[in-house]
Structure 1
Amino acid sequence: MAVDEAVRGQVNVREAPWYHPTGNEVALFEQCHARGLAVMLKGPTGCGKTRFIEHMAWKLGRPLITIPCHDDLAASDLIGRFLIQHNGTVWQDGPLTRAVREGAICYLDEVVEARQDTVVVLHALTDHRRLLPIDKTGETLQAAPGFQLVVSYNPGYQRMLKDLKPSTRQRFVSMDLDFPPPEQEVRIVQHESGLDEATAKGLVALAERIRQLRDRGLAEVPSTRLLIAAGALAVSGIDLREACQAAIVSPLSDEPSMVAALRDLVDATFV
């Protein structure tokens, strides 16, 4: 895999990504950044972790490099590799190395999906050393001012599969993010989808009912992201129940009895 395929993108966030704080997370993150502390964002899928880090990159005026982690992500995808070109062999920095050199915020999304040997390369960047050794070139980089390492994962989902080692977890300041309280979630759904308040309240009420099924056979519960998608479809003219089927019910389950139960909840919510 080419190095550039490992990174979703480096952006200077010029326009403020809209984010509705649910607690003291903004101030806490600002203090972590000022002190060069690595941060772990924990929370369920679609609760706003990525939007939060985009908002903070804008607020702090730092470039943001986002890396989606997966099973095939190797250390060389983060650090870089030698490439053969027409004029010889040249070194190309990976996204993590670029972030270290340029003082960017480096965000590893769903970090536990990466291989353990890949995660180990982060260790020297998460303590007082703030170093990145590049074995292939013999170079050891000191992180530029403004560099910060941020990782995220879904502890509820990952606990059933794999988790971070304690030696890795204790290198991060942990911030627990969750779905916002109903009244705040209504405002978020309204703002992001353009829905009217009454319909947004209905979607949030539906989500609250479905989230109670978390331990009753439903592996994932509806995220705020799914509610926004349903709202956007409804605003575009799609029937509200059909929008809920496409954006909420179908993404959550394929099991017939569960799908039927979810449809019943949709019908009961939007009489």
Structure 2
Amino acid sequence: MHNYQLPQEIQHLLSERIRKDDMFPELIRDGGYMPPNNELLIDAITALSMGKNILLKGPTGAGKTKFAETLSSLFQQPMFSVNCSVDLDAESLLGFKTLSYEGEKQMIEFIPGPVINAMKHGTFLYIDEINMAKPETLPLINGVLDYRRTITNPFTNEVVTAKDGFTVIAAINEGYIGTVPLNEALKNRFIVIEVPYIEGEQLKQLIQRNTKLDDEKMIDLFVKLSADLIQAVRQGKLSEDAASIRALLDACDLSVVITPKRAILRSIVDKLDEEREREFVMNLAETLF
């Protein structure tokens, strides 16, 4: 078992928080992901501490990447990253060969990619939007994700076995154009953690910590806007993009300088493709602001 060890001060704080059943402000550094409930953080830390891979599943802009970065910070472990797309290939994952020189002698050198780097250093590997990759690409790393923690590098024929501490955090947005369902063999290599939208008082704290907006009345209005957008997404009236927390934080920042309605227009509305959705969001903005 390749286990991570949390720093002792984090272990102590975590055990105290579990007993008290409250939130974890001491654990989360400035700008980190504040989970909407205890279980989300406890379960992620528990799985990683046991050497298991985790799959963060949730809507766009819910904070999955920030969650991964926060976990990396908590474990005081660097994190190599892969951003998946339909163009993802073996070189993007594992590395590539290139010409180099030793003195005047020309030679072929292998430059390791994020998977090989994370395995050899025994650190986190973050795979973002894992379901954007072509189905034939990801099986390359099946052996990396299961108990073997091993891969034969097709470019060098080297058998690479991960150092202690290596594990994988992946993120997935389901139902988006260009995504494909994860096959069961791949999904079964992960512990799945649902990452919901941050709402209510927690969203208010997030705005206060991570944006330049300090007008409490205005912050409350943005929290109400977010709640209305999330409700509309759940009712099928809007796409998930409209309720992105990342976009909402951008709107809060812009509203310090320009009017809130223009901030919402630039940060949220102009990203939407359908005129019906654009009008819906602007009507909400008109009502609140």
TM-score (norm 2): 0.82
Give the SS at the match of 2:242.
coil
Q: Does 1:218 align with 2:239?
A: yes
Q: Which residue of 1 aligns with 2:219?
A: 200
1:172 is aligned, of 186, 190, 196, to 190
CA deviation after TM superposition for structure 1 residue 217, in Å = 5.3
Q: Does 1:248 align with 2:268?
A: yes
Q: Which residue of 1 aligns with 2:73?
A: 58
The answer to whether the Cα contact below 8 Å between 1:81 and 1:92 also exists between their aligned partners in 2 is: yes
Counterpart AA for 2:205? R
Give the SS at the match of 2:55.
strand
Distance 1:134 1:41, change over 3 A: same
1:106 is aligned, of 120, 125, 128, to 125
- What does 1:64-213 align with in structure 2 at a 5 Å threshold? 64-86=79-101, 87-157=106-176, 161-195=179-213, 196-213=215-232
Distance 1:217 1:46, change over 3 A: closer
TM-score (norm 1): 0.87
Give the SS at the match of 1:212.
helix
CA deviation after TM superposition for structure 1 residue 167, in Å = 1.3
Q: CA RMSD in A?
A: 1.8
Counterpart AA for 1:62? Q
Distance 1:33 1:230, change over 3 A: same
- What does 1:217-236 align with in structure 2 at a 5 Å threshold? 218=239, 220-235=241-256
The answer to whether the Cα contact below 8 Å between 1:204 and 1:227 also exists between their aligned partners in 2 is: no
Distance 1:161 1:123, change over 3 A: closer
State how far apart, in whole Å, the 2-side matches of 1:48 and 1:217 are: 19
The answer to whether the Cα contact below 8 Å between 1:189 and 1:224 also exists between their aligned partners in 2 is: no
CA deviation after TM superposition for structure 1 residue 117, in Å = 2.3
Q: Return 116-125 or 63-72, whichever deviates more.
A: 116-125
Give unpaired runs (5+ residues) of structure 2: 1-28
CA deviation after TM superposition for structure 1 residue 73, in Å = 0.7
1:31 is aligned, of 35, 38, 46, to 46
State how far apart, in whole Å, the 1-side matches of 2:43 and 2:232 are: 32
Give the SS at the match of 1:88.
strand
Deviations 1:10-30 (A, max 9, x none): xxxxx7642212122222222
State how far apart, in whole Å, the 2-side matches of 1:100 and 1:49 are: 22
Q: Return 217-226 or 38-47, whichever deviates more.
A: 217-226
CA deviation after TM superposition for structure 1 residue 156, in Å = 4.2
